[in-house]
Amino acid sequence: MPALAVGKTAPDFKLSTLEGKTFSLKDALSQAPVVLAFFKVSCPTCHYAFPFFERLFRAYKNKHVTLVGVSQNNAEETAAFAKEFGISFPLLLEETRTYPVSNAYGLTNVPTLFWIGTDGNIEISSVGWAKPDFELINRRMAEASAIATAPMFRASDDVRDYRAG
């Protein structure tokens, strides 16, 4: 079951990046659609999914769609997660234990992904690992970039259709 549903308006927010810069959803949406990937460093499904999200980032370079992770952990734990799983896309820090952004998006599990259109509406909402949703995001990123869809899976990958968050 998705958190905020498709068609809902995405709540605006500002969070610090791992590098200490401010990320504003409103400002990012003025440039391109945004994919939010909420996670917690202790989440096994996040460990599984985030290397695939990194492949999306490397394929499309955040040129026509902005992919960001939203960490429910502190900077030190988030940096260790990024290093361990090779994550180079921007990571935002929701360090407060009250999780105002996660709560505004109705999160009950991680990972949770949202594709937010430039109009501020949620176009894709996905909880856990769902291969069909990942493939849809891949196609949408390629379309936004006006390039062919990049292959995301290798023959050696253990790619499951679903994995609960």
In a domain, 164, yes or no: no
Q: What is the CATH number of the domain that holds 104?
A: 3.40.30.10
- Helix (H) or strand (E) segment spanning residue 76: helix 75-85
In a domain, 60, yes or no: yes
Q: What pLDDT is attached to residue 95?
A: 77
In a domain, 68, yes or no: yes
In a domain, 154, yes or no: no
Q: What pLDDT is attached to residue 97?
A: 83
Strand, helix or coil for residue 79: helix
Segment 39-54 shows an average pLDDT of 97
In a domain, 4, yes or no: no
Q: Domain limits at 29? A: 14-147
What CA–CA distance (Å, rounded) separates 75 from 163?
27
| Whole-Å CA distances, 146 to 59, 64, 141, 150, 162 | 13, 9, 9, 12, 28
Segment 15-23 shows an average pLDDT of 96
User: Please, what is the average pLDDT of the chain?
Assistant: 95
Q: What pLDDT is attached to residue 2?
A: 55
pTM: 0.95
Quick one: what percent of the chain has pLDDT higher than 70?
99
In a domain, 156, yes or no: no
User: What does the pLDDT look like over 60-118, one tens digit per residue?
Assistant: 999 999 999 999 999 999 999 999 999 999 999 997 789 999 999 999 999 999 999 99
Segment 2-8 shows an average pLDDT of 87
Quick one: what percent of the chain has pLDDT higher than 90?
95
Q: What pLDDT is attached to residue 45?
A: 97
What CA–CA distance (Å, rounded) separates 113 from 68?
10
The total domain count for the chain is 1
In a domain, 119, yes or no: yes
Token pair for 67: 């992919």
